[in-house]
Amino acid sequence: MMVDRIGHIEPLQPGKKTGRTESVQGSDRTDSISLSSEAIEKAEKYQVVELIKATPETDEARIAELRAKINDPSYINEQIVQSTADKIMESWLL
């Protein structure tokens, strides 16, 4: 079986000498950007939507259950008060 020959290899080209580069002159101009009122309004709406998405859902059944427990005089005792106070202190890192 005969394998076709691969094309010939080019000889190395001599490297080109680098010259000095010209210094870049600074510009006194500054960049600026302006947003249309429509773009600002859309950005504000986007922020509100993202805030709403980040807000956890309200569990009405759980809220009703907790209200019933709080209104029950036998539920609130020294142990519950102490546990709640400890959790508040932990959240404030005290």
User: Per-10-residue mean pLDDT for the chain, 94 residues long?
Assistant: 66 74 75 92 96 88 90 85 92 81
pLDDT of the residue at 3: 64
pLDDT of the residue at 56: 84
- Does this model's pTM top 0.85? My answer is no
pLDDT of the residue at 1: 58
Is there a domain that residue 70 lies in? yes
Domain that holds residue 76: 37-91
Answer left, alpha or beta for residue 93, where phi above 0 means left and psi between -120 and 50 means alpha. Answer: left
Number of domains the chain is built from: 1
Is there a domain that residue 74 lies in? yes
Is there a domain that residue 83 lies in? yes
